[in-house]
Structures are given as structure tokens and as C-alpha cells.
Amino acid sequence: MAKFGVTDADNYGGQGGNYFSLKDDGDSAVVRFMYNSIDDIDGYAVHRVDVGNNKFRYVNCLREYNDPLDVCPLCAARNFQQAKFYFNIYDLDEEEVKIWERGKQILKSLVPVLQQINGPICGTPVKIIRHGQAGDQYTRYDFELLAPDGVTMEDLPDPVDPNEKIILTYTFDELQNFVKTGRLPNAEVAVDNSNGYSSGHNNNYNNNSGGNEIRRRYPSNDNNGRGGTGNNRAF
């Protein structure tokens, strides 16, 4: 069904927004990390929330790292806060923007490689190679720099803002209500459909989704300069 009306035009045609993944051991892809410098990479403190039907949403944590737990109803309910990165990458094979969702562990291997790039990070293609079978929790990734080609951010499609496309933001009262009732208001409105981020439903709050995660505190420089609430930068 490739027909669409003018009001749906934003949902079609290279807007980007699919998730990037390498499925199995030895898989690789050549991408650009869509940033000028390391400082442009943002981390996000989020909760992974079960919304039923085997679907989940990321919701902004309301707590700065040094706030008490009760500042955020989801933290207070022991839904563990996660530090996530939603890297904007441009897949050179498929010629589209994708989001690569990773925990902060990826920084140890990725940042030293990106720091070797002279000039804008996006101007040097990077080969990502997966080491680890599908489902292996110890999977790691290697990064190889290819020859710089001088591509700039202006040459590329607009990056995806995770706070617009991926992470839902609610007030304290809305989250408090969600913990009590399992209802997550507007979860289906705030998330794009047709873009790889599946739409959601409003029930079955699972008090312990992601419960085997260890909650970690991590430094924040308190910089919320890119708009959006709860946007913690991890370095």
C-alpha cells in the first residue's frame, strides 16, 4: 500500500527512523556516525516500560543522577533507570538514516576510534563488525575507520531527535498515575508509526521490566542545552 495523503507525507520517503542492527557473528556494515564531534553525542537516562502485547517504550527519567529516587515515580517503583545512546548513523549501503540503540558500554570501544577522526566525524565512513552470535549478551563490536571523504552534516539528511521519535516524556503526575493504573497517556500519539518505531497500547505496566538491569549512577554535566526534559549527557 504505497498510496498516502498529504497529511501522511512525513511518514514516507527517506525520512529515516529505522533501527540499525547487525544480526549475527561476523556481520558488518559501513556507516557514518552523524556528528561533527564527540561532544555532539548525547546519552539519555530512560526507563524501559512494558506497555503490553510484547511492546515497550522508552520514557524519560525525571531524575538527575544525584536526585533522590522519589523525584521520578518510575525510579521510586524500582523500574531501573538505564543509560542509553541512540546513535544517528547513516547506512551507506541502504542510504538512509538509522538509529543504533546501545548501552553506555559501547563507549569504551567506540569513542577512542571516533576520536582518531580528523575533522567532522561524519566525514569518515566507519565499518562496524559484530563479534558474537545472535542473542549472545557478550557480543562486542569492532570499529574500523575507512578513508575520509569530507562529507559534512549538511550533505546528509536531518538526524533523528530521540526526544521526538523514540523517548516519551511525561510529567511527574502522569508517571505517578501510570505506576498506579498502568495507563500511559498518548503513547500511541507520541510515537511515529510507519517509521520502524511500532505503535503502542496503554496497559499492563510491568513493575519490573528490565529488572535484571543494574541501576548505575553516572556523571552528568547538567547540560540540558538541546531541549527536551531529562536529557542527561553522559560525558
- Exactly one of 31, 59, 72, 126 binds Zn ion (CB under 5 A); that residue is 72
Distance CA 199, CA 11 (A): 13
The answer to whether 153 and 34 have CB atoms below 8 angstroms apart is: yes
User: Does residue 49 belong to the site contacting Zn ion (CB under 5 A)?
Assistant: no
83 vs 114, which CB is nearer to Zn ion? 83
User: Does residue 57 belong to the site contacting Zn ion (CB under 5 A)?
Assistant: no
57 vs 63, which CB is nearer to Zn ion? 63
- Enter the DSSP assignment of 20: P
User: Of the ranges 8-16, 31-39, 68-76, 83-91, which one interacts with Zn ion (CB under 5 A)?
Assistant: 68-76
**Residues in region 81-100 near Zn ion by CB under 5 A:** 81
Strand ranges inside 61-183, DSSP E = 82-91, 96-103, 126-131, 140-145, 167-168
81 vs 88, which CB is nearer to Zn ion? 81
User: Does residue 59 belong to the site contacting Zn ion (CB under 5 A)?
Assistant: no
User: Does residue 74 belong to the site contacting Zn ion (CB under 5 A)?
Assistant: yes
In three-state form (DSSP H/G/I as H, E/B as E, the rest C), the secondary structure along 160-197 is: CCHHHHCEECCCHHHHHHHHHHCCCCCCCCCCCCCCCC
- Exactly one of 22, 59, 61, 184 binds Zn ion (CB under 5 A); that residue is 61
33 vs 58, which CB is nearer to Zn ion? 58
Distance CA 124, CA 111 (A): 14
Q: How far is the CB of 95 from Zn ion (least distance, A)?
A: 37
User: Does residue 63 belong to the site contacting Zn ion (CB under 5 A)?
Assistant: yes
Q: How far is the CB of 160 from Zn ion (least distance, A)?
A: 23
In angstroms, what CA-CA distances link 96 with 34, 38, 124?
Answer: 11, 21, 16
42 vs 192, which CB is nearer to Zn ion? 42
C-alpha cell at 158: 536531518
63 vs 233, which CB is nearer to Zn ion? 63
C-alpha cell at 3: 498510496
Q: How far is the CB of 68 from Zn ion (least distance, A)?
A: 11
- Exactly one of 34, 46, 59, 75 binds Zn ion (CB under 5 A); that residue is 75
User: Does residue 41 belong to the site contacting Zn ion (CB under 5 A)?
Assistant: no
Burial of 157 (0-12, 13-18, 19+ CB in 10 A): middle
- Phi/psi of residue 88, each to 5°? -80, 115
Residues that bind Zn ion (CB under 5 A): 61, 63, 72, 74-75, 81
